[in-house]
Amino acid sequence: MDSLVTEICKGLDIALAEFEAFRQEVPEAQWVGDVRELGAINKQNQEWINTHGFLRFLGTGVKWMAVVQPKSVIAAMSVNSIVSKVEGTDLTTSNVKTVEEALAWIKGEKVLSAQGA
C-alpha cells in the first residue's frame, strides 16, 4: 500500500469514527466532501478507494453527499469516477464548487425528502 492510500485510510478511519458519533445525535445521514485541494489519484489508489474505502463509507448509512470539486481538472476526473461507482445505492450526490453550495444542497435535499418529493 503506498503512502497516499495509507493517508487516505487514516483519514477515512478518523472521519468515519467522527461521523458515526455525530449520527448518534443527528440520525439523518449526510456528508460534505471538501476535496478542493486534492491532487491527481493514480489508478491503483483509485481502485482501492472504489473497492474498499468507499464501501466503508457507504456502510455508514449516508444518504446525501455533496462533493466540493477539486481545483485540479485531473483530480476532479478521479473524484467523479469514484462517485459514479455509487449506482445501486441509496446515496444521492451533487458536485458543487463551494462549501456554501454544498451545505445549501444538503439542506435542500433534506427538505425535499421530508416533504416526500
Residue 68's pLDDT is what?
Answer: 92
The set of cell numbers assigned to 9 is 485510510
- The better pLDDT of the pair 8, 79 is held by 79
**Segment 82-94 mean pLDDT:** 77
pLDDT for 77:
87
CB 83 within 8 A of CB 56: no
Condensed to tens digits (0 to 9), the pLDDT of residues 20-71 reads 777 777 666 788 888 888 887 778 877 877 777 777 778 777 888 899 999 9
Query: Can you tell me whether residue 102 is helix, strand or coil?
Result: helix
Asked if pLDDT for residue 108 goes beyond 80, the answer is yes
pTM exceeds cut of 0.85: no
The pLDDT value given to residue 87: 66
**Which grid coordinates are listed for 12?**
477515512
Q: Which three cell numbers stand for residue 72?
A: 485540479
